Amino acid sequence: MENIYVTSPSLPPLEEYQEYLASIWQSKKLTNYGPFHEKLEAELSQKLGVEHLMLTSNGTLALVIALQEMRITGEVITTPFSFAATTHALHWNGIKPVFSDIDPQTYNLDPAKIEAAITPRTTAILPVHVYGTPCDMEAIGKIADTYGLKVLYDAAHAFGVEKDGQSILNFGDMSVLSFHATKAYNTVEGGAIVCKDAKTKQRLRYLQNFGIADELTIVAPGINAKMNEFQAAFGLLQLKYVDGEIDKREKVWNLYDSLLDGVPGITRPARVPRVRANYSYYPVLVDGEAFGTDRDGLYQRLKEDKIFARRYFYPLISEFPTYRGLPSADRANLPNAHRVADRVLCLPIFADLSPEAVQLIVGIIREIALGQ
């Protein structure tokens, strides 16, 4: 068998992309809000069920710009159980991250813990819909309203996710998506910000294009975070196929669920009811004693068979050298996050992962569980 990685990107048919490339060669419009960019923005907004969406060069700069537009300063309450970019975006804005613990069932920021982390310097909450599981948006919204805080959702994992038939991207003040190659929908690299109104989107556009309003007017110290025409054209094709790809992921997911059923020491995060998922990740928690080996043991054993599962998200962001000195990074403040980070392993899942590969992976897991 070939190497099996935790994910493998979906790509559109090459011939279709070549046609789009020919059109770029003809127009010589390579970037700066070309026709593919404008079309993708419109089609994505419609597809995702949001009104105001701005494309960006990647998800990290989308987070940086969103924080700037909202003029968020001081302290922001966030989760340590995420990809590095979530907290780094705060750092790049000179904002102090305040880590708060996660819910042991969903692995998302626990709303019940947020209030205790609020200080006079708190200006916002930065939650993550980790693995595409929706946060408790109602509870987070209530806290934000009570204390006058902004909410920026890191929705990098949440492409197309709906709760009660509504896009979860419409909650909070803004949401940020990532279209990196490893995500459920990709534009090679890319991202987007979902915001509430056209004026906000206009200011976000200034910020992503050096602050340029017109030839003579630079309204803000903006950065360069535009999506180019090659990414946008690629993204338009991806959009045609993404539903089919997510359906294929769901089949892989269901096969794992049925084959892993009853394996001692292997548990899964809770599924939030009334959610349309995107099946991006397949995390399991490994309880070393009940299972027979700990998470790292399973990770190594799979590697021997060229199966490259990943320990998303370990180590916690609060353990990085940049952040571990913060008072909120103390282990005692984050017991659930540590418990999950020490046990979690994301098994391979992608549209073209074969049933045989899933059987092979679960076969190894069952062998360990039986062999103890």
Ligand X SMILES: *Cc1c(COP(=O)(O)O)cnc(C)c1O
Q: Which residues of the chain form contacts with ligand X (CB under 6 A)?
A: 58-60, 82-83, 85-86, 128, 154, 156-157, 178, 180, 191
Alpha helices per DSSP H over the chain: 14-27, 35-48, 59-69, 85-91, 111-114, 137-147, 198-208, 229-260, 288-291, 295-304, 335-343, 355-371
Angle ∠(94,98,104) on CA atoms, nearest 5: 140
Q: At closest approach, how far in Å is the CB of 26 from ligand X?
A: 29
Closer to ligand X by CB, 167 or 178: give it: 178
Tokens of 72: 């968020």
CA 261 to chain centre: 27
Closer to ligand X by CB, 86 or 200: give it: 86
Q: How far apart are CA 76 and CA 31, in angstroms?
A: 34
Q: At closest approach, how far in Å is the CB of 198 from ligand X?
A: 24
Q: At closest approach, how far in Å is the CB of 189 from ligand X?
A: 6
Q: How far apart are CA 75 and CA 262, in angstroms?
A: 44
Q: At closest approach, how far in Å is the CB of 121 from ligand X?
A: 24
Count other C-beta atoms under 10 Å from residue 234's C-beta. 24
What Cα–Cα distance (Å) separates residue 297 from each residue in 84, 114, 292, 310?
24, 34, 9, 13
Q: At closest approach, how far in Å is the CB of 130 from ligand X?
A: 7
Q: At closest approach, how far in Å is the CB of 124 from ligand X?
A: 16
Dihedral, 58, 61, 62, 65 alpha carbons, nearest 10: -160
Backbone dihedral angles phi then psi of residue 64, each to the nearest 5 degrees: -60, -45
Task: Give 153's strand partners.
Answer: 175
Q: How far apart are CA 190 and CA 44, in angstroms?
A: 13
The letter for the amino acid at 118 is I
Closer to ligand X by CB, 182 or 333: give it: 182
Q: How far apart are CA 102 and CA 129, in angstroms?
A: 11
Closer to ligand X by CB, 185 or 299: give it: 185
* Residue 115 contacts residue 101 (beta carbons within 8 Å): no
Q: Which residue is nearest to ligand X (CB)?
A: 59
CA 284 to chain centre: 17
Closer to ligand X by CB, 239 or 357: give it: 239
Closer to ligand X by CB, 346 or 358: give it: 346
Count other C-beta atoms under 10 Å from residue 185's C-beta. 24
Q: At closest approach, how far in Å is the CB of 191 from ligand X?
A: 5
Q: At closest approach, how far in Å is the CB of 146 from ligand X?
A: 26
Tokens of 32: 């700066």
Q: At closest approach, how far in Å is the CB of 19 from ligand X?
A: 26
Closer to ligand X by CB, 157 or 310: give it: 157
Closer to ligand X by CB, 84 or 326: give it: 84
Q: Is the peptide bond before 221 cis (omega within 30 degrees of 0)?
A: no
Maximum pairwise Cα distance, the chain: 72
Closer to ligand X by CB, 167 or 186: give it: 186
